[in-house]
Structure 1
């Protein structure tokens, strides 16, 4: 590996002065939020500079445990901590006698499994990886509490990550939460990231979603536009506010900076409609009844935001539905066959889907929340009525066949829904709708449910293979048997024989 001595690094891209230990802990908190697997953070400074204090604060922040025991690995040289997010290994190389010993400590293997924090990195000489972040801590003379933190790296990614984290801290400061504790909650393949913000026993969820701009490749942006995926945080405010205005439990928004993409909102908890890894039939029934109530209302095509700007809820066009279903062709078919789908196959596929969607052209349309499934349905213990389920991940709401969301719930991608439970929930939905209005068309809805269920499952099969093959997340392949079971089940419904004949060629 190339030599990465502190003296050979470029000028610091960031230099901050902290006035006391509380500010040191906040800076460690800001760094903990942007750590990724594979990172190496090198902490350099004289004895007493505060390397151990900073490392301890970072580990406790990452763990979400201010009482986490963090012993100094001065004699063991390395201490590894196992966390849900990923593992962190704390190295103290002060007693390292030979740089080659670092290889014996397993730095490369530990970084493959997580990230590493290294005190006294100079002892390792050229064995530290390229792209490491170096943090030099210095103490101004005769100022016992103050410290200067200088950040160096040859990787421009570190500058971007730290700037984003500090921008988040500045947003929190602007709403008088500058001293709040931040903890990683989730991140996804888009630019969105989520964290919890805790201050004075109150916890909120902070989403950071800057406008996409040039950060998204043209092909990805084109796909997002084709399938009507929201591209900025205004959609969150619009959909949440409309749902809340009608008595549905979407998160209340406490503060927002829409130009920068920050939204601080109500934390509805982590408990979903799944218990012990299985669908809770009673909770799924409530979720089904909630959908029926929602589908009994008329929803607007536009929502006016505070300040006068308008969010237009896009129509779930046939082009969008077919483009999503085609993820099955783009990713699942090559996964099974070892070769890309050819043009003839694509023409057949598109023709069959055009016909299927034409046959449900008269199906009821309304707001489709799009990911109405267990991860986004938060159970509110002790609540009643519509408040029993909190709704999140709503920004991609479109106007389309309402059967889509019913299929999303009853063919839940993240948990096994048995045929019997699906049948019972289907009947719950239909009977509830029939009680709402004598004009509810069971036959039309049943047909639309079959088509939308097939579309949803096709899309998810493609997405899960893409996550495994393109994004390095092979665990998603474990969900394929469930989704294939759903595909068999939904294709057995009347009116889907042509699609069934096409799909059976790719059933393992």
Structure 2
């Protein structure tokens, strides 16, 4: 028996009755869960449907989600409208954007031009987000950037693949961390979605793009969300596609006043931001397995670490780190994940 689901269903039915006058049966269908503790369900009526969210208040910051949703919507970003909320129980009723994620549209028979067109649509919406007023969003500061990189050593190296690091190895990773953090903080600071990729973007009516899963938004480096989108941990695109789209972003963001960096400096910032994000993500995937029992994310660690090695190999200052990856980390990862 799932008491929270039953309670959510009855609460949502009551909310919809107050909003529309429609009487519904309290039956929910599963939409998805995600890497957090939130669960999403759909409640369907005669002509409409709604998304019902179970977000335990002791685990999730629901007031922040609601505040961001309403602020971004007022500023023109296409996020689901919050139609009802019960902060104490951790329930929300949201506008239903349907079930057409950007991810399958990119992969189910899309040709080169279609892939580019869809990503350009996502980049245009990203620039809209970056133009928003940051308001009371937390700052993506040095402490948070460093804490995220530590997930790689703590959860992936030490716990998941049993790779005990020496003092010299810790110093090496600290040196890499210093470079990555300095680069992130030197970039223009904008509104950052923080998980902006094709599984969190939806194709809505009339070709509009819907943005979901934005509750962890912060003020941070301008390249962060672009890395999330184009060097997505869950997929790998040919370099020429990524290069074309980064150039597209650079031109459009510069014209929009979001970015004021020469392309070479922007490209380096993009690369180094990707290293920070991929170190973080690889650690999070290990934590999801160990702490939360979500083993499916282990399959995404190798692709994430290949990104890390490829980009680090482009810069002389990471030569010692690349040697460590090749000689110590990657063999241990292959063994530890097999």
Give the TM interval when normalised to the shorter protein: 0.7 to 0.9
TM-score (norm 2): 0.83
What secondary structure is seen at the aligned counterpart in 2 of 1:429? helix
Partner of 1:309: none
Partner of 1:506: 329
What is the aligned counterpart of 1:373 among 197, 200, 204?
A: 197
In 2, the alpha carbon distance for the partners of 1:342 and 1:198 equals 56
Partner of 1:330: 154
- Deviations along 1:318-372, whole A, 9 cap, x unmatched? 1111111222112332478533335553344234312332244321111110100
Q: Is the 8 A contact 2:180 2:276 kept in 1?
A: no
Write 1 or 2 for the structure with the bigger share of helix: 2
Q: Is the 8 A contact 1:372 1:409 kept in 2?
A: yes
Answering whether residue 228 of structure 2 is matched by residue 408 of structure 1, we say yes
Answering whether residue 250 of structure 2 is matched by residue 430 of structure 1, we say yes
Q: 1:298 to 1:471 in 2, by over 3 A?
A: closer
Q: Is the 8 A contact 1:363 1:444 kept in 2?
A: no
Identify the range of structure 1 (427-436 vs 175-184) with the bigger mean alpha-carbon deviation.
Answer: 175-184
Q: 1:343 to 1:194 in 2, by over 3 A?
A: farther
Partner of 2:272: 451
- Deviations along 1:76-96, whole A, 9 cap, x unmatched? xxxxxxxxxxxxxxxxxxxxx
Partner of 1:490: 311
Partner of 2:133: 299
Q: Which has the higher contact order (CA 8 A, sep 6+)?
A: 2
What secondary structure is seen at the aligned counterpart in 2 of 1:260? coil
Corresponding pairs, count: 316
Partner of 2:101: 272
Q: 1:464 to 1:265 in 2, by over 3 A?
A: same
Aligned counterparts, 1:55-454, within 5 A: 162=3, 164-175=4-15, 176=17, 179-188=25-34, 190-212=36-58, 231-274=60-103, 275=105, 276=107, 280-295=115-130, 297-302=131-136, 313-334=137-158, 338-342=162-166, 344-380=168-204, 382-383=206-207, 388-437=208-257, 440-442=260-262, 443-454=264-275
Q: Is the 8 A contact 1:181 1:199 kept in 2?
A: no
In 2, the alpha carbon distance for the partners of 1:390 and 1:400 equals 22
Write 1 or 2 for the structure with the bigger share of strand: 1
Q: Runs of 4+ in structure 1 displaced over 6 angstroms?
A: none
Q: 1:419 to 1:485 in 2, by over 3 A?
A: farther
Q: Is the 8 A contact 1:271 1:379 kept in 2?
A: yes
Q: 1:190 to 1:258 in 2, by over 3 A?
A: same
Structure 2, unmatched stretches of 5+, are 18-22, 332-338
How much does 1:413 deviate? Answer: 1.6
Q: Is the 8 A contact 2:160 2:286 kept in 1?
A: no
Aligned Cα root-mean-square deviation (Å): 2.6
How much does 1:415 deviate? Answer: 2.0
TM-score (norm 1): 0.57
How much does 1:293 deviate? Answer: 3.5
How much does 1:467 deviate? Answer: 3.2
Q: 1:439 to 1:300 in 2, by over 3 A?
A: closer
Structure 1, unmatched stretches of 5+, are 1-30, 35-161, 217-230, 303-312
Partner of 1:97: none
What secondary structure is seen at the aligned counterpart in 2 of 1:197? strand
